[in-house]
Amino acid sequence: MGTNNLSSSFKIVEDGSITTPLGFRAGGLHCGLKKTTRYDLGAIICEVPAVSAGVYTTNVFQAAPLKVTRESLASEGKLRAVLVNSGNANACTGEQGEADAYEMRARFAEAVDVKAEHVAVASTGVIGETLKMDNVRNGIDLLPGQLLDGMEGADGFCQAILTTDLVQKMVCVELEIDGQRVHIAGAAKGSGMIHPNMATMLGFVTTDAKIGGEALQGLLRKATDLSFNMITVDGDTSTNDMLIAMASGLAANQELSEEHADWAAFAAALSYVCEVLAKAIARDGEGATKLVEVQVRGAVSDESAQAIAKTVIGSSLVKSAIFGTDANWGRIIAAVGRAGQPVNPNTVDIRLGDIVTLEASRPTGFDEEAALEYLKGDTVVIHVDLHMAEGAATAWGCDLTYDYVRINAAYRT
């Protein structure tokens, strides 16, 4: 299995996937929820009850599958399987949608011979349309035969969860805990309706580490706040967002806790997996041509830096300027100023990559041609230094293009 050195604590597994951690299989198929023949039903299954944790959308209108999944996790804090459909969000579908989500859980539990309370359900797609349950039932009955080890199973699952995504999003890392080889892997979908406090994204993390439920929940929440909650594509928070982590415990390490010598290494590896997936969602934003990163330093606190970074990355004017390769730092400083955070209007520096456009809140007379060439690249980094204190944060997003409007103007048709 190929690996690349990343840090002293963990490595990227180049050919790894969500099925690399011990105990996991996955797969997908087409059951007829999408108009095309693309896969639209998938699952991850663990051979043992996996300690599990979840993070969900903050939208008031939460889709039926979230209620079902919360209930499953509240039962024992363990899961054996996650069933996911794309092409239909099963959101704002009333009592029928709720009944359908419960039926999906029960039918898949029976198909793979596990307790219903050990199954989570997730959906993504169009809001307000009931599921074609005959198609879903047929798909669930066939799905166990598609659950495979290795990349083939993981690839099928990743195909099944996509909507407007152009690429699959998957990452796997390896580290050593108590002398045992441990893996953490993740897969996600998301391209539009993406905004901090979750988004139209589904994320799934698998690990073979042994860890308690409260510890895993705490780490997942912290990793989410620094990754998935720091991305935006269009400022819209979805009804269906869900991030589920499952730990099989089959790696035979001593149970992880804050007192464990390798706790920090495991936390760093989990955070890295979440950050890679979050950045992949931002880069794959609907119609996007560039990944945009905003680094804020010198704020009065990390929380203040986060608020400023989110405001800049979410600005339609900043995003449009970057799409047009216009080094309009005025859009950036205006976003900084309206973030509702303490800012000294006389001490702000702004850079586009290495090009200083503003120093001590005054224009520098930078090379416009050099800035234009920089903005033509597929990754743009905006640096904002407030020179006030030590608070820092990073947010990710993308440019706003003509294609974003085209894609969303015809989303249902």
Would you kindly state where each structural domain of the chain is located, as residue ranges? 3-281, 291-409
Both tokens assigned to 204: 């799934």
Cβ-contact 65, 106 below 8 angstroms: no
Q: What is the DSSP track for 388-412? A: SSSEEEEEEEE---HHHHHHHHTS-
Backbone angles phi, psi at 353, to 5 degrees: 65, -120
Give the Cα separation of 138 and 39 in Å (integer). 14
Both tokens assigned to 59: 């939208």
Is 291-409 CATH 3.30.360.10?
Answer: no
Both tokens assigned to 92: 């704002």
**Which sequence positions are flagged as catalytic?**
200
> pLDDT tens digits, the chain, 413 residues: what are they?
454 545 568 999 999 999 999 999 999 999 999 888 999 999 999 999 999 999 887 777 788 999 999 999 999 999 999 999 999 989 889 999 999 999 999 999 999 999 999 999 999 888 889 999 999 999 999 999 999 999 999 999 999 998 766 678 899 999 999 999 999 999 998 754 444 443 447 899 999 999 999 999 999 999 998 888 888 754 545 566 789 999 999 999 999 999 999 999 999 999 999 999 988 888 776 667 889 999 999 999 999 999 999 999 989 899 999 999 999 999 999 999 999 999 999 999 999 999 999 999 999 999 999 999 999 999 999 999 999 999 999 999 888 887 777 766 765 55
Cβ-contact 54, 278 below 8 angstroms: no
Would you say the C-alpha torsion 299, 304, 309, 314 has a positive or negative sign?
negative
**Cross-sheet strand order for the sheet of 349-352:** 362-363, 355-359, 349-352, 379-385, 291-299, 391-398
Give the Cα separation of 282 and 378 in Å (integer). 12
Position 239 scores a pLDDT of: 62
Give the Cα separation of 413 and 411 in Å (integer). 6
Position 198 scores a pLDDT of: 39
CATH number assigned to the domain covering 3-281: 3.60.70.12
Give the Cα separation of 407 and 396 in Å (integer). 21
DSSP state of 228: G
Cβ-contact 86, 160 below 8 angstroms: yes
Both tokens assigned to 370: 């050099």
Both tokens assigned to 401: 């293009």
Could you count the other beta carbons within 10 Å of the beta carbon of residue 184? Answer: 28
- Coil, strand or helix: which one is 128? coil
Give the Cα separation of 341 and 212 in Å (integer). 37
